[in-house]
Structure 1
Amino acid sequence: MRHTKTMTRRFTGAAALALAAILTACESDEPTMAPPPIGSTPTPTPTPTPTTGTLDVSRCLSQVVFADGTTVQNLVIPDVLTIDPALPAGFPNGRKLADPVIDVTLAAIFLDIDAPGQSAATLAQIPLNPSANDVALPSGFPFLAPPQGSPPIAATTGTQFNFRTDADSAYERVDRMGFPAVSTALVPSGSKLAYNDGGPVQDASGQYAAGIVATLTALTEALRDDLTGAGLNICAD
């Protein structure tokens, strides 16, 4: 009986200690972890493998937009809006007043315009922008709709205008807008001043090509999820 009573006392004491440990763990907000076995080396937490990979936008720049083989790169570099009378009129061959130039430009530099159901005008077909000018444009000269409201001066003759006759050196270029969105969206911020002071000669020499490619790559990576989520096919690989 003494042996039985001793074992009972020992079991009771061990159970009390275990219960106290459980209660202490429950009262604490800190998670409890079992210590590693004596003599073992703790397994270090694995470091997540960083996700790397850069999109290649060269196929975007090499997309052919005209039957004569003109590519997106030919249109963007040099930054000049050209007109070829042998090709259909309308942006990017010239520019009509109602042409959705920004939508067409963005579609050409981001989307695979050869994918089924896509073209350089794909973004313009998404109903986000007005479908037409709020006042109908005339079919003849001056092609602009009449002003709305009550203009303060009804200009009927050239005598109401004061044309400047200063030499070109008296003016300073603040922006270069040959081809829409190139200077605004594709030229890096650190190069904009030099770019605006430059011209087609510098463009053709490739002076700004690397910066344009880098900016286009960063923009494509940032917008990839949005474009693919909208069911569009991007041109970058």
Structure 2
Amino acid sequence: MKSMIARAVATLAVAVSLSACGSDETVTVAPPIDTPAPAPTPTTGTLDVGKCLAQVVFPDGTTVQNLVIPDVLTINPSLPAGFPNGRKPADPVIDITLAAILLDIDADGQSAATFAGIPLNPPANDVAFPSGFPFLAPPQGNPRISATSGTTFNFRTAPDTAYERVDRMGFPALSTALVPSALKIPYNDASPVNDANGEFAGPIVETLTAITMALQDDLNRAELNLCAD
């Protein structure tokens, strides 16, 4: 664009000089100067998400890192029920998770339920939850049920060898969002023991850092306080 402007200025200078040839006046036009392109704005340093992982989410001192490593959903009977202490069917699990891993939940006006307060979610489940076990509504539509679909499987007495792991879903969104794509199969084939040994801690922190960096501007515009430094 700047070179086009420079050529236009040069053409204008020639035209003015020619028009002045038949007059008594001398017109002098300074030669065009190409302005160098501005240097790109330097990128800021990488955010440190260590403070996010160290946020205390339970009165007993449990931190976000304790919740996601190892990947298990814990239940403490001495604490109120509800995610991340267990999980109620209506709990806005993903919203609470996002708040805990992205926001400073100790900042004024913010909490682990901050994202749940954004009016993007439906106000309630489309089918009311039953008050008794199994607490989930029957499937909608006309699901096909087969006599060989495993309805006689006894989860209480079947040995471990009878199970086949497909996906680890101990802590919601951890395997889906924070484990890199290249590691999803090894991660799902591993166990909480591998998590506790720190085998996947580095990649999880890297992914969380990348997500925080990508959303930093949007969260700041929404006047939300990041937990990352």
Distance 1:22 1:90 in 2: 85
Query: What is the match of residue 236 of structure 1?
Result: 228
Does 2:217 match 1:204?
A: no
Distance 2:56 2:129 in 1: 31
Query: What is the match of residue 19 of structure 1?
Result: 17
Does 2:77 match 1:85?
A: yes
- Any idea what SS the aligned residue of 1:233 has? coil
Q: C-alpha displacement at 1:189, in angstroms?
A: 1.4
- Any idea what SS the aligned residue of 1:227 has? helix
TM-score (norm 2): 0.77
Distance 1:149 1:91 in 2: 29
Query: What is the match of residue 67 of structure 2?
Result: 75
Aligned length: 204
Distance 1:130 1:213 in 2: 31
Q: C-alpha displacement at 1:75, in angstroms?
A: 0.1
Write out per-residue CA displacement over residues 43-64 of structure 1, whole angstroms, 9 at most, x where no aligned residue. 9877546324100100000000
Query: What is the match of residue 101 of structure 1?
Result: 93
With over 3 angstroms needed to count, the CA separation of the structure-2 counterparts of 1:47 and 1:135, relative to structure 1, is closer
Aligned-residue RMSD, C-alpha: 3.2
In structure 2, what residue type is equivalent to 1:51? T
Write out per-residue CA displacement over residues 4-48 of structure 1, whole angstroms, 9 at most, x where no aligned residue. xxxxxxxxxxxx99712999xxxxxxxx5259xxxxxxx987754
* Largest Rg, 1 or 2: 1
In structure 2, what residue type is equivalent to 1:163? T
Q: 1:123 aligns with which of 110, 115, 118?
A: 115
Does 2:176 match 1:177?
A: no
Q: C-alpha displacement at 1:178, in angstroms?
A: 0.5
In structure 2, what residue type is equivalent to 1:127? P
Structure 1 unmatched runs, 5+: 1-15, 24-31, 36-42
Distance 1:80 1:17 in 2: 78
Distance 1:200 1:67 in 2: 24
Structure 2 unmatched runs, 5+: 1-13, 22-30
Query: What is the match of residue 152 of structure 2?
Result: 163
With over 3 angstroms needed to count, the CA separation of the structure-2 counterparts of 1:162 and 1:139, relative to structure 1, is closer
With over 3 angstroms needed to count, the CA separation of the structure-2 counterparts of 1:213 and 1:147, relative to structure 1, is closer
Does 2:180 match 1:188?
A: yes
Q: Percent identity?
A: 70
With over 3 angstroms needed to count, the CA separation of the structure-2 counterparts of 1:45 and 1:110, relative to structure 1, is closer
TM-score (norm 1): 0.75
Query: What is the match of residue 33 of structure 1?
Result: 32
Q: C-alpha displacement at 1:182, in angstroms?
A: 0.5
Write out per-residue CA displacement over residues 90-141 of structure 1, whole angstroms, 9 at most, x where no aligned residue. 0000000111111110110001100111101110111101111122212222
Distance 2:132 2:225 in 1: 39
Distance 1:54 1:159 in 2: 53
